Structure 1
């Protein structure tokens, strides 16, 4: 109704004024007063979760951090702000470029606050150093320059190593946004690395469509021939093709031969590039062979599949030793082929070796996390 709309607008004006007053106090160094007005603004009932409320939660978290008034409370406030911003981005209810920038600002402070709550054993000094560098660069150079883009990408890459892809994606999205604003300052290799890492982070968080878009854009960056590229760039393109193959193989009807054809094509291109860039006995070569073996087996090409699994097993044993979970995976697949052929003695031997390895892994995991 008109009355409801007017009431909501009035509340929004009140909250905006309170936020502005809080901001002025913050600029003047009156942090306690700024905190008071920010908290008062959030006490207005029935506020929608939008940029305004996200900014207020951020302000509260930032002020609690500045005032050393409780890192747990600061973490809660910043997490709430980040959740609102993430939801807005997902629902596309605000300008993406500003959202990406605000998301990274909030995520950066949240990670710094969380580090204060960590035990010395779980602290991440490399990440904290990069996050502080990012803050310094943005303060001194602005939000959109080459150094900021590279640091954002480095942070995203690091959080992929930490196996925190959702965090990684936020930094990589912002890095890509910055790169697209200043294309003359960014080389193709940097953009290729960002797109690849972003695609992997999106893939790891279940956003395969967006991931595929990143990978396809990455492939468009190749020159006249991938074979003319440096080994490093070949390896990156191989990773792109590998991930495309993973998405292609996991989507669609498993009985659809075209699904296998597309995925096999990607994995074979990946394998060829990895052999050229990394040599024949690199673990990444083994991964490509393993996935080719799976698809060939699905297609009924058992002999070729077995050859792929056996070569993969050889590389994995040489790279990882005899007690690695990837070795167990190769053994399990080879064992299944022998089992299907009725070669039970060999199948049993392979399955038992795989089981032994996995039990060792399980026991080690239990010992590490009692």
Structure 2
């Protein structure tokens, strides 16, 4: 594209954005950020501020900042993206559901549960209405709302949503997909929170194995899986099993996320609790 179209073309911005999405998915956050920023700048310059591609770019950069724990940087970008999408696309568009879901994820990550819940619910309702019940985005919304209920200790409400999400992802995406690993992990965390350790353990082990196989050892999701399995062992008093996993998770998070990330605090806290 650069060779044929030159640097000042919307397709270049699309390529930059897509390459950034790949790096983002691989947990290569420092490689993704400048590409997202270049894509946003290029789309703004070529298409103007009032264009759906600009809204997509704002959303993607906000997602990256949320992944990095830069919540105060992410929020204004999410809000701009949502406002722009509403203005350009109207309320009845799947991108609105995506924006609502992502803003809810941000509030969820910040512990603002009462702000997150109505956004998750709206996103789920929109997605079902616009895309039908048999769509991966429905599974995503079910998973996220179930995760929120789990965070709030509303386990009876969380369980059917997390189970539906897992079942739907398996049916639509097959067993060999990172989203299936995510669902296994979240359902296991629910069981662990309820003290159902024998039900949780095989799910956590499957999630860890699947994540490693699909995403490689050097990925933040692997660190999350290691941490969650260690949490289970800690809850069972299996301290010798938990310690190496906590240490691996902390080392991996430091390497991938840097020292200034909320997940580092979580890992330090968990290792301290173990000791």
Q: Same fold (TM over 0.5)?
A: yes
Deviations 1:33-89 (A, max 9, x none): xxxxxxxxxxxxxxxxxxxxxxxxxxxxxxxxxxxxxxxxxxxxxxxxxxxxxxxxx
Q: Name the CA shift for 1:150/1:359 in 2 (closer, same or farther; >3 Å).
A: closer
Partner of 1:332: 230
Q: Which has the larger radius of gyration?
A: 1
Task: State the alpha-carbon separation in 2 of the partners of residues 282 and 329 from structure 1.
Answer: 20
Task: State the alpha-carbon separation in 2 of the partners of residues 131 and 277 from structure 1.
Answer: 36
Match of 1:190 among 84, 88, 95: 95
Q: Determine if contact 2:142/2:164 at 8 Å carries over to the other structure.
A: yes
Match of 1:223 among 116, 129, 138: 129
2:73 aligned with 1:167, yes or no? yes
Map 1:198-237 to 2 at 5 A. Answer: 198-221=103-126, 222-223=128-129, 226-228=132-134, 234-237=135-138
Task: State the alpha-carbon separation in 1 of the partners of residues 88 and 254 from structure 2.
Answer: 51
Task: State the alpha-carbon separation in 2 of the partners of residues 224 and 366 from structure 1.
Answer: 36
The two structures have a TM-score, normalised by structure 2, of 0.64
Task: State the alpha-carbon separation in 2 of the partners of residues 315 and 136 from structure 1.
Answer: 42
Partner of 1:11: none
Q: Name the CA shift for 1:298/1:207 in 2 (closer, same or farther; >3 Å).
A: closer
Q: Determine if contact 2:33/2:61 at 8 Å carries over to the other structure.
A: no
Corresponding residue SS for 1:217? helix
Deviations 1:304-324 (A, max 9, x none): 222322322332332345674
Q: Determine if contact 1:166/1:202 at 8 Å carries over to the other structure.
A: no
Cα distance, 1:262 vs structure 2: 1.0
Partner of 1:263: 158
Partner of 1:357: 248
Cα distance, 1:261 vs structure 2: 0.7
Deviations 1:266-301 (A, max 9, x none): 222221222223322323222222222222233343
The answer for unaligned runs of 5 or more in structure 1 is 1-120, 229-233
Deviations 1:149-195 (A, max 9, x none): 441232222231243443333233233334434556x7622222222
Q: Determine if contact 1:313/1:330 at 8 Å carries over to the other structure.
A: no
Q: Determine if contact 1:156/1:169 at 8 Å carries over to the other structure.
A: no
Partner of 1:109: none
Task: State the alpha-carbon separation in 2 of the partners of residues 182 and 328 from structure 1.
Answer: 43
Cα distance, 1:355 vs structure 2: 4.3
Task: State the alpha-carbon separation in 2 of the partners of residues 364 and 181 from structure 1.
Answer: 41
2:205 aligned with 1:310, yes or no? yes
Q: Name the CA shift for 1:212/1:296 in 2 (closer, same or farther; >3 Å).
A: same
Task: Give the root-mean-square deviation of aligned CA atoms.
Answer: 3.6
The answer for unaligned runs of 5 or more in structure 2 is 1-30, 261-275
Partner of 1:283: 178
Q: Name the CA shift for 1:125/1:262 in 2 (closer, same or farther; >3 Å).
A: same
Q: Determine if contact 2:185/2:225 at 8 Å carries over to the other structure.
A: no
Task: State the alpha-carbon separation in 2 of the partners of residues 123 and 315 from structure 1.
Answer: 27
2:144 aligned with 1:239, yes or no? no
Q: Name the CA shift for 1:182/1:247 in 2 (closer, same or farther; >3 Å).
A: same
The two structures have a TM-score, normalised by structure 1, of 0.50
Q: Determine if contact 2:155/2:190 at 8 Å carries over to the other structure.
A: yes
Task: State the alpha-carbon separation in 2 of the partners of residues 287 and 203 from structure 1.
Answer: 17
